[in-house]
Amino acid sequence: MPGFEIFGEEERKQVADVLETGVLFRYGFDAKRNGHFKALEFEKKLAQITGSAYSHLCSSGTAALSTALSACGIGAGDEVIVPPFTFVATFEAVLHAGAVPVFGDIDETLCLDPDQLEKVITPRTKAVIPVHMCGAMARIDEIKSVCDQKGLILLEDACQSLGASYKGKAIGRFGLAGCFSFDAVKTVTCGEGGGIITDSKEVYEKADQFSDHGHDHLGGPDRGADDHPIIGANYRISELNAAVGLAQLNKLDKILEIQRKNKYAIKNAMADIFDVSFRYIPDAKGDSATFLSFFLPTEERTRHVAKTMAQNGAGPIYWYDNNWHYYRKWHHLKQMKGSAKLAAELVDNLPDYKNMAMETSDAIMKRTISMQIMLSWTPEDIENRIQAILKSFR
């Protein structure tokens, strides 16, 4: 899964280009930069890969989410529907925008369930953020049609799913904007970085401005001559980070090919295990294949298999107990700890996170095990892993 597994000459060359000029800033310094615009090049490539009209690179996936929320006009008191299985960044970005995360249940895609959105939509709902978890997609066309019917903004958290697609269209392109992460453990890494894609010129321009203190980037070589049409922040990427990412992005096809090959070798070897069923993936061809996830019939059986797999070195992930990815252990959210509390106290529609019950999601997560698919596995590693997995079910 992580792009860092395949660092090579290409990354070193890209970084050396930047160090030779000494220009680490993505804007300006045209005379000194020897023609190197790494962030800009990355953006062009990301737009081309995803087929989106615009793309903007910023300092992290979290920054991309915050920037996209602002660019889409989502803010104080707006309710935003998010899933309880994600990374904490999704609800953090919503809270830091002054908006209110409202949790909707997931289905066997391990992503937001379009059939259960209606239950949590209120007159205050402004947006829906499905999170395409573990490299594969939500039932995104159905989620989109609910959003269209209800007049809600669709914003995709595709941080974990670069390279995934649904019926030939890149994940991240179904809503008003989509966000990716290029942090140190993602499919393509900048070290730290994040990207936004959109087909809306207005959203793109606002994102570009927001992530750089509101600069309109129209003042020419003198940044001081730029105007500031909106209040922004500094979520800029550095050229060094963008350079690493650019080399990585050029390897995406290769990465996807290896992931898919490794994943299906393992999945096929598990086909005959009688009580295993696999995660529902709406378009299996579009799976970026960073993880293999499956279900067992009961919590007890799942815990037992996860334990045996761990003992056998098969690297299971039991998300239901995970501190970072499932709402059950989000004590900081439940107690509203930190400065987000200040904004949250000002709204009168904050859900009771402490007593939130997500029974449908719990029932699914209790029976779910995932395995990360690595790029660096040799055929022997894969064979050993298959043996370790099969042994865990005996």
Helix 201-210 vs helix 61-71: angle between axes, to the nearest 10 degrees? 120
Name the residue nearer to ligand PLP (CB basis): 101 or 194: 194
Name the residue nearer to ligand PLP (CB basis): 14 or 90: 90
Residue 88: CB minimum distance to ligand PLP, A: 8
With CA atoms as reference, report the closest residue to 162 among 146, 183, 139, 140.
183
Do 371 and 314 form a contact (C-beta atoms < 8 A)? yes
Do 95 and 114 form a contact (C-beta atoms < 8 A)? no
Residue found under tokens 């023609």:
35
With CA atoms as reference, report the closest residue to 175 among 263, 271, 74, 252.
74
Residue 14: CB minimum distance to ligand PLP, A: 19
Residues 11-30 that bind ligand PLP (CB under 6 A): none
Q: What's at 30, amino acid-wise?
A: D
With CA atoms as reference, report the closest residue to 377 among 4, 10, 1.
1
Do 174 and 331 form a contact (C-beta atoms < 8 A)? no
Of 38, 126, 186, 251, the active-site residue reads 186
Name the residue nearer to ligand PLP (CB basis): 58 or 305: 58
Give the Cα separation of 215 and 224 in Å (integer).
9
Name the residue nearer to ligand PLP (CB basis): 82 or 296: 82
Name the residue nearer to ligand PLP (CB basis): 1 or 296: 1
* Residues near ligand PLP (CB under 6 A), total: 14
Residue 353: CB minimum distance to ligand PLP, A: 18
Stretch that binds ligand PLP, among 55-63, 74-82, 292-300, 332-340 (CB under 6 A): 55-63
Please spell the DSSP secondary structure of 357-389, one letter per residue.
Answer: --HHHHHHHTTEEEEEPPSS--HHHHHHHHHHH
Residue 175: CB minimum distance to ligand PLP, A: 15
Residue 372: CB minimum distance to ligand PLP, A: 13
Degrees (nearest 5) of the Cα angle 239, 243, 245? Answer: 120
Do 144 and 105 form a contact (C-beta atoms < 8 A)? no
Please report whether residue 57 would count as binding ligand PLP according to CB under 6 A. no
Residues 161-190 that bind ligand PLP (CB under 6 A): 181, 183
Name the residue nearer to ligand PLP (CB basis): 183 or 205: 183
For residue 295, what are the β-bridge partners?
277, 368
Taking residues 193 to 212 in sequence order and writing x for each that binds ligand PLP by CB under 6 A, - otherwise, the string is: -x------------------
Stretch that binds ligand PLP, among 47-55, 156-164, 205-213, 248-256 (CB under 6 A): 156-164
Taking residues 81 to 110 in sequence order and writing x for each that binds ligand PLP by CB under 6 A, - otherwise, the string is: -----xx-xx--------------------
Name the residue nearer to ligand PLP (CB basis): 177 or 389: 177
Do 363 and 116 form a contact (C-beta atoms < 8 A)? no
Specify the DSSP class assigned to residue 373.
Answer: P
Q: How far apart are the first and last CA of the chain?
A: 28
Residue 334: CB minimum distance to ligand PLP, A: 19
Compute CA 372 distance to the chain's CA centroid, rounded to the nearest angstrom.
15
Q: Out of 131, 196, 317, 343, name the contact with ligand PLP by CB under 6 A.
A: 131
148 Cβ contact partners less than 8 Å away, ≥ 6 residues apart: none
Do 223 and 230 form a contact (C-beta atoms < 8 A)? no
For residue 326, what are the β-bridge partners?
85
| 186 is an active site residue | yes
Residue 271: CB minimum distance to ligand PLP, A: 29
**Closest residue to ligand PLP, based on beta-carbon distance:** 61
Please report whether residue 134 would count as binding ligand PLP according to CB under 6 A. no
Name the residue nearer to ligand PLP (CB basis): 86 or 125: 86
Please report whether residue 61 would count as binding ligand PLP according to CB under 6 A. yes
**What phi and psi, each to the nearest 5 degrees, are found at residue 202?**
-65, -45
Residue 132: CB minimum distance to ligand PLP, A: 8
Residue found under tokens 């096929």:
268
Q: Which residues are catalytic?
A: 186
Give contact residues for ligand PLP (rule: CB under 6 A): 60-62, 86-87, 89-90, 131, 157, 159-160, 181, 183, 194
